[in-house]
Structure 1
Amino acid sequence: MTTTHTLRALGARTPFALAASLLAAATVHAQTVSETIPTVAITGARFAAAADLQPIGATIIRAADIRDAGASDVGQAVRKLGGVYGRQSLDGSPDFGLDLRGFGTNSAQNMVIVLDGVRLSENELSGAILSAIPIDSVERIEIIRGGASVLYGDGATGGVIRIVTHRAKAGEASGNLRAELGQFSARDARATVLRAFDGGSFDASVARQTTDNYRANAGFRQTAFSGGVAWQLAGGRLALRLDSARQEQRFPGALSLAQFQSAPRTAQTPNDFGSHDIDRVSALYEQRIAGIDFAAELSHREKTVKATYVSAYGTTRMAYKGHQTQFSPRLRLLDSVAGGLNELVAGADFTRWDRKTDSSFSLADAEQNAQAVYLRDEFKFDRANDGRIALGLRHEVFDKTSNDPAPYTTATYSTKQSLNAWELAASYRLLPGLEGFAKAGQSYRVANADENAYTPKANVPLKGQSAHDLELGTTLGDGARSLTARWFRHRLTNEIYYDPTVNGFGANVNLDPTKRQGVEIDASAALDSEWRASAHYQHVAASFTAGPYAGREMVLVPANVLTARLTWRSGGHTADAGVQWVDSQRYGGDFANSCSAQIPSHSTLDARYARQLGPWELSLSGSNLSDKRYFSNAYGCKGGIYPSDGRQLKIAARYDF
């Protein structure tokens, strides 16, 4: 049976049957081995690894940092502590559009998000739902900037955000209850429990979040559950997890500049609403046999999305149901070679995705199957040299089909696309406390089902996008004080983007060649035993390099973003404050740079104070404390504006047990 046939069979099962099948197979196999897996320090090339092999040039956000900053979800932690720029969501959810290295409205399609090895990024024009991940379960977040398609495949030109959850230690038992109240009728209640038992552990989290939000008709409701169980096997580990989220949203619509200036809280579409339900079951299996580490993730996701849009022309309803099954087996040989440490990783990624749409404008039945193989070798010289060099290759094939019997649609096609990625990375300790690093490579992405549904030529899917990536950087300091500076460049061919000028009504196209080039600086310092400061700066020059728009700036990309934070902790008191300044940017669709205005620059301030009283923590927090009136999403010249939130204050109580 071929891998594709296997995935078809797996996809036909329920998520619970899928997980049970892997559990049974892994348990039988575990009875034949007796070796142990090395101590986990940090995540390397999709394996648990020693700190010496952490991703070159990565930004690491740890659980203690997240707790001090009072980040309420993963996306907020990435923005506050990782310095990643984020745009206000369009549906009232807290899931901002994160943007690594200036990819504008398509930032989610040029960045991969991974949760415990399971890819959350999908074959759709939608971002990962980070707000449903229990923030208390997160052990660390790794932000790997720049091309990473060798290990992570489609859409990793901007980088990868890896979320790693906590693994219970022997005898560990903990839990917490948390409640939060805020302006705009915000309510947030959460409960988490974790317990280790003989040979394993289990955890569970439930959360309920409601808010009316800043604008009219922008209400948001979410109920989420996450639960898992893990077993320590002879020489390995098996973990099963179920994640579920139910969202209800209201859609306020876009405003003109005049409407934003006079009444930014009003709704342009007061009767639009929708829902988003997602269930995902995943299984992780790790084993060491004869000095070789084996690992695999198997996951199945089901998603249902519904929306209703009301206008003067009538009511339009849309619904779709999608499924995605992923299987990612791999192996690693970690061994001493010529006085150094060598890590050889080989793996494969198999993904089956399908979606059926039921609406007045589309009845598309779309499917994508992807098969990839990759190989990566990294060698760390002896400690006297403290140098590393890595080389990786990947080949991936995509089979895409879509059939839409609805009249006047353009979403019927069948195509096969084959793409390659490579990377060469190196680092070297130049002096004590001073390290230099460099990366070069090629990354790629393919158009998703939504993009291929609206192209300039009916029923003709877009070409694959490729990027040549280059990065040079240096890190100075240690854990107490560190400074990392990077220069980067991405030269893109056939960049996939929406052009509102095509055919008079707009379409998704392959752009003429484009470029992202800039500088990133990350700094952090423990000023003394109580004070800690951090700052992140990004400068991006995003432009066309050929065609009629050659030399013009890309749209919805701020040239500069600066984020700075200061944290104080003493005797049960914690205070944290941060400021972010975002430069001006071109309105969406203004490829000719002819609009007489730009989206203005803005600065925002947030802060939090918490008091620990035994098992209790009481906190007061505020966002956009200066009540700055601004916007980060605008899809036409002085129009298509989605205002960002105004000032909001919240109080919270947490009880740990």
Structure 2
Amino acid sequence: MAASEASSTGAHDTNEPSAPGPTTRGNTSDAPVAQKTASDAGQTVVTGSRRPRPARDVPATTTVIPRTEIDRSPTLTQDTLVRTLPSAATFRRTPSLVSDPTAQGLNLRGLAPSGVARSLVLLDGIPVNDPFGGWIFWRSLPRLGLERIEVVPSGGSALYGSGALGGVVQLVSRPITGLQVDADASYGNANTGLVAARAANSWGPVRASLEAELLNSDGYEIVSPAQRGAIDSNTPSDHAVINGRIEADATDALTLSARAGLFRENQNGGTRFTTARVELAHFGAGAKLRTERGGTFTLDLYGRAQRFEQDRARVAADRSTEALTASQTVPANDQGASLVWSGPTWTGLGTHVFTAGLDARRMAGTSEEQLFPPSPSDTATVGRSAGGTQLSGGVFLEDLYTPIPALELSAALRMDVWRNTDGEQRVARANGSEDTTAFEDRTEQQLSPRLGLRLRPIEWLTLRASAYRAFRAPTLNELYRPFQVGTILTAANANLGAERLWGGEAGVEAESTSLGLTTRVTGFWNVLDDPITNVTLATPLPDGSARQRENLGQARVRGVEASVDWKLSRQWTALLAYTFVDPVVTRSPGQPELVGKQLAQDPRHRGTAIVTFHDPDIVTATVQVRMTGSQFEDDLNERPMGGFAVVDVSASRHLFWKLHVFGAVENLFDREYLAGRAGVDTLGPPLLARVGLRLRDL
């Protein structure tokens, strides 16, 4: 299988020295490596500097999950795969298999988890965060089409603008190098079935790929046995996705590309009236022009149209009955464009490599809500509609300066402007009257700098340090859309401002080729000003909201992440990784009782241990242990959830031709643990096992 060198937004420039991609796996290759901080001299990454570079030379800490480990992971869904990195987490402990998208926000290094992602997720340089809520539809990103996943867990606004407050996760598509056919088919308990296929080919200067995935599951009983009632049942879900991509070399210097896809997902939260549904269509087009002396110019255009639907229930105290309390429909769309210039190497007291670019995005959406109050009066609210439009744009410049081969300095600066317009809320009463509130248009701006250093005093030792400022503008969802989890109703807030981050990191990486050992330690310190959080109200609002989104003073998130990669032999590899986070509220005007509290949904300890055995003539097997420490459900730290550890395993064996048989088990020992305590205690996934066949074009 060919190795990738770059994403579509950072394809290898002809005026840069070529660097090979990750080692090709095969009968004569070395044993596979586990997910790791990218450090191999031959591995190329693009996310940390928006251009393809050997990973050892990137000043920012970059972690890579390569294609082989994506294939061998015991995990079923993409969010669970990413969470095997201890520094990565979703808002709650529940996977996307049973959780609707509003609870799947990604955070890195414990940076104030919420349903909204505080980290930017890209597919080949194109944002995939939902335009209305910032959510991640993880199941819309099938893994058969991925070459690798790159994770840069530090403030990335200097290069990527809003959304990259806590870092960037980039999914890089597999290159099209000729005829390729791959397929997966598996079945497991909970009636979970998956069918996925990918086909790709090239015809002279034209290349194309098509991938599809279908998944259906009955889920499991998510409410804890002590609170389970007559209304509670399993959490069935299904999804379907199809994506197509085409590339063409118009000339030796110009490459054109286009892509499109459709996605549909249905979720049930375990009762008749707790459901969610997503329908999404996306498209994109791009052009890359390589010049001999002027560098490379990359243009990307993209857009999507989607519809999110959600029903919520009013549940009796003993969970014996339920009634529909709200039905929401959220149509949304976005359009965007980016232009990036990657310059040639310029010599002046060392070497300089410049990258510059600009981008713009328009996002629009409306939350249309029908309410069913238990005792309707003439003035009771029976309908609510709120939404608006958000326009954003930015320009950036980055210089990678190498005064001597052992030292590289990086400096990036970006200016962003965004504007909230057309904000409006309409409230309908049972007596037929309607109140309309128009929200004032607002414009804000942000200057985001980043400085970095990479020092290699001796060949086996690399030192990295960086300091940065980042931001995240509030989403349309946070500004306008209320939501309910369990029995807790949270109100929106049209007056929210951007949250801003100051931070830094410093780390050391030591690599011994003879021992096959790589060790990394990185310390980080982040101060988040005005974080948007769900704050418990002293007195509920007239509509019954017990919480409201607010800009909450200040939070400090500091910690350390460490990992050891060890290639024990040709067949055996091991990874130990651990992240400690100290997430504390340091300022809370108006609510001093929150000062010193741990941020909600933010465990202090997370760790992963992975051991892989690979012998093509025998078997490929992986055992991984995932550990998560205790945390709190709420901002007041009154609803604790204990820590847990689960064991996952997978194994595969080649049968004949390109056919492999495989099996995987998540939560092998059926460990029961809490996933949420929002009015009702919910559980994480029980033992989930599956077996299947794979067709691999290796």
- The answer to whether TM tops 0.5 is yes
1:641 aligns to 2:644 (yes or no)? no
Q: What's the CA shift for 1:42? A: 2.7
What is the CA distance between 1:394 and its match in structure 2?
1.1
C-alpha contact 2:387 2:476 (8 A) present in aligned 1: no
Which residue identity does 1:561 align to in structure 2? R
Distance 1:420 1:319, change over 3 A: same
| Pairs within 5 Å for 1:100-111 | 100-106=108-114, 108-111=116-119
Q: Which amino acid aligns with 2:51?
A: F
State the partner residue of 2:446.
419
Match of 2:563 among 522, 525, 529: 522
Residue of structure 1 aligned with 2:389, choices 357, 367, 379: 367
Residue matched to 2:373? none
The answer on 1:230 being equivalent to 2:247 is yes
Aligned match of 1:261? none
Distance 2:520 2:147 in 1: 22
- After TM superposition, the runs of 4+ consecutive aligned structure 1 residues lying more than 6 A away are 34-38, 408-411, 454-459
Q: Offset at 1:164?
A: 0.8
CA distance in 2, matches of 1:471, 1:410: 44
| Cα pair 2:106 2:113 within 8 Å, conserved | no
Task: Look up the equivalent residue of 1:414 and give its one-letter code.
Answer: D
Name the structure 2 match of 1:621. 664
Q: 1:207 to 1:84 in 2, by over 3 A?
A: same
Partner of residue 501 from structure 1, selected from 537, 541, 560: 537
Which of residues 476, 479, 489 in structure 1 aligns to 2:510? 476
Partner SS state of residue 384, structure 2? coil
Which residue identity does 1:295 align to in structure 2? T
Within the candidate set 64, 69, 72, 2:73 is matched to 69
Tell me how far apart the structure 2 counterparts of residues 283 and 469 of structure 1 sit (CA, whole Å): 35
Query: Structure 1 residues 339 and 66, CA, compared in 2 at 3 Å: closer, same or farther?
Result: farther
Q: Structure 1: give runs of 5+ residues left out of the alignment.
A: 1-33, 253-268
Secondary structure at the counterpart of residue 49 of structure 2: coil
- CA shift digits 1:457-515 (9 cap, x unpaired): 99742121111111111111067421111110111111111112255222110102111
2:279 is aligned with what amino acid?
D
Structure 1 residues 375 and 652, CA gap change in structure 2 (3 angstroms) = same
Note the 1:193-272 alignment, pairs <5 A: 193-215=199-221, 216-233=233-250, 234-252=252-270, 269-272=271-274
Gaps of 5+ in 2: 1-12, 20-43, 222-232, 315-321, 371-382, 429-434, 483-489, 541-545
| Aligned residues of 1:111 and 1:160 also touching (Cα < 8 A) | yes
Residue 436 of structure 1: which of 444, 463, 466 is its match? Answer: 463
> Once the 2 structures are TM-superposed, how far is the Cα of residue 405 of structure 1 from its aligned partner?
2.4
Q: Paired residue for 2:353?
A: 343
What corresponds to 1:448 in structure 2? 475
**1: distance between equivalents of 2:142 and 2:666?**
21
Provide the C-alpha distance between the structure 2 equivalents of 1:365 and 1:97, rounded to a whole number of angstroms: 20
Higher helix share: 1
Match of 2:149 among 115, 131, 141: 141
Greater alpha carbon shift after TM alignment, 92-101 vs 606-615: 92-101
Change (3 A) 1:317 1:91: farther
* 1:165-191 alpha-carbon deviations (Å, 9 max, x no partner): 11122xx21102221001101010111
SS of alignment partner, residue 366 of structure 2 = strand
Measure how far apart 1:274 and its partner are.
2.8
User: Aligned to 1:589, what secondary structure does the other structure show?
Assistant: coil
Task: Indicate conservation of the 8 Å contact 2:210/2:243, yes or no.
Answer: yes
Q: Is the 8 A contact 1:419 1:464 kept in 2?
A: no
Return the offset for 1:568: 0.2
Q: Which residue of 2 aligns with 1:612?
A: 654
Q: Which moved more, 1:546-555 or 1:493-502?
A: 546-555
Change over 3 Å in CA distance of 1:154–1:306 after alignment to 2: same
Aligned identity (percent) is 20
The one-letter code matched in structure 2 to 1:472 is: A
| Residue 46 of structure 1, CA deviation | 1.9
User: When the two structures are superposed, what TM-score results if normalisation uses the length of structure 2?
Assistant: 0.81
CA displacement, residues 5-55 of structure 1 (integer Å, 9 cap, x when unaligned): xxxxxxxxxxxxxxxxxxxxxxxxxxxxx9778646331522234456445
State the match for 1:588 in structure 2.
634
Residue of structure 1 equivalent to 2:310: 307
* Match among 517, 523, 527 for residue 491 of structure 1: 527
The worse-fitting range, judged by mean Cα deviation, of 495-504 and 647-656 is 495-504
Kept in 1: contact 2:390–2:419 (CA 8 A) = yes
Separation of aligned partners in 2, 1:126 and 1:187: 29
Contact preservation (8 Å) 1:68, 1:576:
yes
Residue 675 of structure 2: aligned partner? 632
Q: Deviations over 1:516-535 (max 9, x none)?
A: 00001122111110001112
TM-score normalised per structure 1: 0.86
One-letter amino acid matched to 1:508:
R
Maintained 8 Å contact 2:87/2:153: no
Aligned residue for 1:76, secondary structure, equals helix
1:305-347 residue CA offsets vs partner (Å, 9 max, x unmatched): 1223344564532212111111011112131424744221111
Contact residue 454 and residue 507 of structure 1 kept, 8 A: no
Give yes or no for the alignment of 1:357 onto 2:367: yes
